[in-house]
Amino acid sequence: MSKRDYYEVLGVSRDTSESDIKKAYRRLAMKYHPDRNPEDADAEQKFKEASEAAEILMDSEKRSAYDQFGHAAVDGSAGAGGFGGAGGNFGSIFEDVFGDIFGGAGGGGRRAGPNRGADLRYVLTLDLEQAVKGCNPKIKVPTMVECMECLGSGAKKGTSPIDCVQCGGMGQVTARQGIFSIQQTCPRCRGQGKVISDPCTQCGGQGRTQEQKTLAVKVPRGVDTGDRIRLAGQGEAGSRGGPSGDLYVQIEVRDHAIFERHGEHLYCDVPISFIDAALGGELEVPTLDGRVNLKIPAETQTSKQFRLRGKGVDVTQVRGGGVGDLYCRIVVETPVNLSGKQKELLQEFAEESGEHQRPRQSSWLDGVKRFIDSLTD
């Protein structure tokens, strides 16, 4: 026997929105649900028909295929079995629409199982040297751990939790509302299906106690602010025998008095006198591995940057890419607290200096003149 058009079954047009299709199905499901029409084969058949239509039309891909090719495109997608049976999906589509009201189309509640413990986060603050070279600090983390007295059961040593008499160990109870059966969390055992008649004296029946754990953290070379290290199973203990969560160690690196870090590279300012900048020379500069000599050429200008290869951060362990560099930025320092004699000498120097000896200033003044001239044109 040929199937009816799905839109006709639900009483909607082909351009109806998904929300209106859901409303139409809800109306028909309430009307023809088998619980409301016991021993009415016709009502059961209409309920199946509406569920099959809703299953197709509430799925955008299946609906598109049905609109193009009709039943032939979706015959393998819609179930053919009875309500809640192994052959179809009518139970699941009913739960999608009525799941906020009913405990499911298939009846029978399910006891709450073991719960995984919560993940924890710990902020570990490091000096730049520790982050660059790696370290193995110990941290203290307050967390919930499995009670050693009852081994997580919550029951006094030598006893065990027993099945809840109100829900029979299922964790859910069934209440009738009109023609429907509504499943609710059992108020006695709170969904666990078990009750503890004689609680553990150590944890008060919780199965967990609070403890401060001391953990060693292996920090690899090259970590930076924002990096995370995962310690599996070091989070909070799970409840009802569930596995522990994880601990995530969040890295924060303190600002350094000398160096700035950008990725794998380090930067530092190197102040020099204007005499060393003019005449050149050699001076010691710091690196994270010790001091090195840096040769300053004559006539070095401020902001000149010198690169020391391989004196940056080794990020191979955390990101790959090898070792970065150290960039030294020259800052020419102007002398202060000059004596009268020094001022005289500098004045003589200024009188002896020509514009060709100050190329940057000359270039800047030329640019200013061109800009002013352009405003008056």
Answer yes or no: is 189 within a domain: no
pLDDT digits (tens, 9 = 90+) for 82-129: 333 333 455 555 555 555 444 444 444 455 556 788 899 999 999 999
Same domain? For 227 and 149 the reply is yes
Same domain? For 241 and 120 the reply is yes
> Looking at residue 62, which CATH number applies to its domain?
1.10.287.110
Answer yes or no: is 127 within a domain: yes
Answer yes or no: is 225 within a domain: yes
Per-residue pLDDT, averaged over 118-147, amounts to 92
Same domain? For 289 and 215 the reply is no
What local confidence, expressed as pLDDT, does residue 351 receive? 83
Same domain? For 225 and 312 the reply is no
Answer yes or no: is 105 within a domain: no
Same domain? For 11 and 131 the reply is no
Same domain? For 315 and 228 the reply is no
Per-residue pLDDT, averaged over 34-49, amounts to 83
What local confidence, expressed as pLDDT, does residue 314 receive? 94
What local confidence, expressed as pLDDT, does residue 76 receive? 59
State the number of CA atoms in the 13 A half-sphere of 137 facing the CB: 17
With a cut of 70, say whether residue 179 has pLDDT above it: no
Answer yes or no: is 104 within a domain: no
With a cut of 90, say whether residue 229 has pLDDT above it: yes
pLDDT bucket at 195, cuts 50 / 70 / 90: confident
Same domain? For 128 and 215 the reply is yes
With a cut of 90, say whether residue 171 has pLDDT above it: no
With a cut of 60, say whether residue 80 has pLDDT above it: no
With a cut of 70, say whether residue 357 has pLDDT above it: no
Q: Could you count the other beta carbons within 10 Å of the beta carbon of residue 271? A: 12
With a cut of 60, say whether residue 312 has pLDDT above it: yes
Same domain? For 67 and 94 the reply is yes
What local confidence, expressed as pLDDT, does residue 124 receive? 95
Contacts of 71 (CB under 8 A, 6+ apart): 3
With a cut of 80, say whether residue 211 has pLDDT above it: yes
SS (H, E, C) the chain: CCCCCHHHHHCCCCCCCHHHHHHHHHHHHHHHCCCCCCCCHHHHHHHHHHHHHHHHHCCHHHHHHHHHHHHHHCCCCCCCCCCCCCCCCHHHHHHHHHCCCCCCCCCCCCCCCCECCCCEEEEEEECHHHHHHCECCEEEEEEEEECCCCCCCCECCCCCCEECCCCCCCCEEEEEECCEEEEEECCCCCCCCEECCCECCCCCCCCEEEEEEEEECCECCCCCCCCEEEECCCCCCCECCCCCCCEEEEEEECCCCCCEEECCEEEEEEEEEHHHHHHCEEEEEEECCEEEEEEECCCCCCCCEEEECCCCCECCCCCCCCECCEEEEEEEECCCCCCHHHHHHHHHHHHHCCHHHCHHHHHHHHHHHHHHHHHHC
Q: Could you count the other beta carbons within 10 Å of the beta carbon of residue 13? A: 9
What local confidence, expressed as pLDDT, does residue 83 receive? 38
Strand 265-273 and strand 260-262: pairing?
antiparallel
What local confidence, expressed as pLDDT, does residue 130 receive? 96
What is the domain count for the chain? 3
Entry field: residues in the chain = 377
What local confidence, expressed as pLDDT, does residue 101 receive? 44
**Residue with more model confidence, 114 or 64:** 64
User: Model's pTM, two decimal places?
Assistant: 0.57
With a cut of 60, say whether residue 77 has pLDDT above it: no
Per-residue pLDDT, averaged over 341-361, amounts to 79
Tokens encoding 369:
């003149």
Same domain? For 297 and 249 the reply is no
Answer yes or no: is 220 within a domain: yes
What local confidence, expressed as pLDDT, does residue 341 receive? 94
pLDDT digits (tens, 9 = 90+) for 317-328: 888 778 999 999
Per-residue pLDDT, averaged over 339-362, amounts to 80
Q: Quote the domain boundaries for residue 305.
A: 262-334
What local confidence, expressed as pLDDT, does residue 98 receive? 57
What local confidence, expressed as pLDDT, does residue 327 receive? 96
In the chain, % of residues over pLDDT 70 = 84
Same domain? For 242 and 139 the reply is yes
> Looking at residue 317, which CATH number applies to its domain?
2.60.260.20
Euclidean distance between CA atoms 169 and 172, whole angstroms: 8
Same domain? For 227 and 269 the reply is no
What local confidence, expressed as pLDDT, does residue 103 receive? 42
305-308 sheet: strands from edge to edge: 260-262, 265-273, 326-333, 305-308
Per-residue pLDDT, averaged over 179-196, amounts to 78
Same domain? For 311 and 250 the reply is no
What local confidence, expressed as pLDDT, does residue 108 receive? 44
Answer yes or no: is 304 within a domain: yes
Answer yes or no: is 103 within a domain: no
